[in-house]
A and B are shown apart, each in its own frame.
Chain A
Amino acid sequence: DAEITQSPRHKITETGRQVTLACHQTWNHNNMFWYRQDLGHGLRLIHYSYGVQDTNKGEVSDGYSVSRSNTEDLPLTLESAASSQTSVYFCASSEGTGDTGELFFGEGSRLTVL
């Protein structure tokens, strides 16, 4: 069965360190997204991609970067982790044009920055 997987599922790091969260999907979807979810807030879009070599900034992109070198993967990098980036991160993918399709989410990565 097709799926979308994230790793690591849990990570604790220190302020200032670089962190990369992996996202891999086997749906063959063109569209991939990274969100963060914090208590009291809706899902907030960090970065997204509509295809290989395409990346775009979302609502809360400062301090984050992504790259899309193939269809399956969209890794999220925190260049210098800050305590404000402690959150649960969800990767998602969809088919169709832009955001019009149903989103399939990974299980989430819980990041704690000390």
Chain B
Amino acid sequence: GQNIDQPTEMTATEGAIVQINCTYQTSGFNGLFWYQQHAGEAPTFLSYNVLDGLEEKGRFSSFLSRSKGYSYLLLKELQMKDSASYLCAVLDSNYQLIWGAGTKLIIKP
């Protein structure tokens, strides 16, 4: 079967750096997405990786290793507003999105 694994919850301190991991086992691969979802709100797009390597976008970076079935989202200079759930999703060989259950990130002052 197809599977996306992410930690259920993580805690970090304001101003610090946190890495949220995502491992996947899917039938084929056509890209990996990260979305941010604040409590009670809609998910919003953060990043898309289809080639191996690191994509940097301001305080957020996303890394992909296709051979390892692994990605991470790196958040730097954490702010209280970064408290949210982070969703990893993989586009499989049929161009269907497979979603992880999400990682709830708690930021403490």
Give chain A's interface residues, CB within 8 Å of chain B: 40-45, 90, 97-100, 102-108
Contacts and interface: CB of A to CB of B under 8 A. Distances in A.
B99 A43 contact: yes
Interface of B: 4, 30-31, 33, 35, 40-45, 48, 87, 89, 91, 95-102
B87 A102 contact: no
A43 B89 CA distance: 9
10 contacts: A40-B101, A42-B89, A43-B97, A45-B97, A90-B43, A97-B95, A99-B91, A99-B95, A102-B48, A106-B42
B101 A100 contact: no
B35 to A, nearest CB: 8
Given A43-B87, A98-B95, A103 B100 contact: no
B87 A90 contact: no
A106 B42 CA distance: 6
Contacts of B30: 100
B96 A99 contact: yes
A45 B87 CA distance: 15
Contacts of A42: 4, 87, 89, 98-102
Contacts of A40: 101
A107 B41 contact: yes
Contact of B31 (A90, A100, A108): A100
Given A43-B87, A99-B96, A100-B31, A105 B43 contact: yes
Contact of B95 (A45, A100, A102, A105): A100
A108 B100 CA distance: 19
A99 B89 CA distance: 11
Contacts of B4: 42
Given A42-B4, A42-B87, A43-B87, A102 B100 contact: no
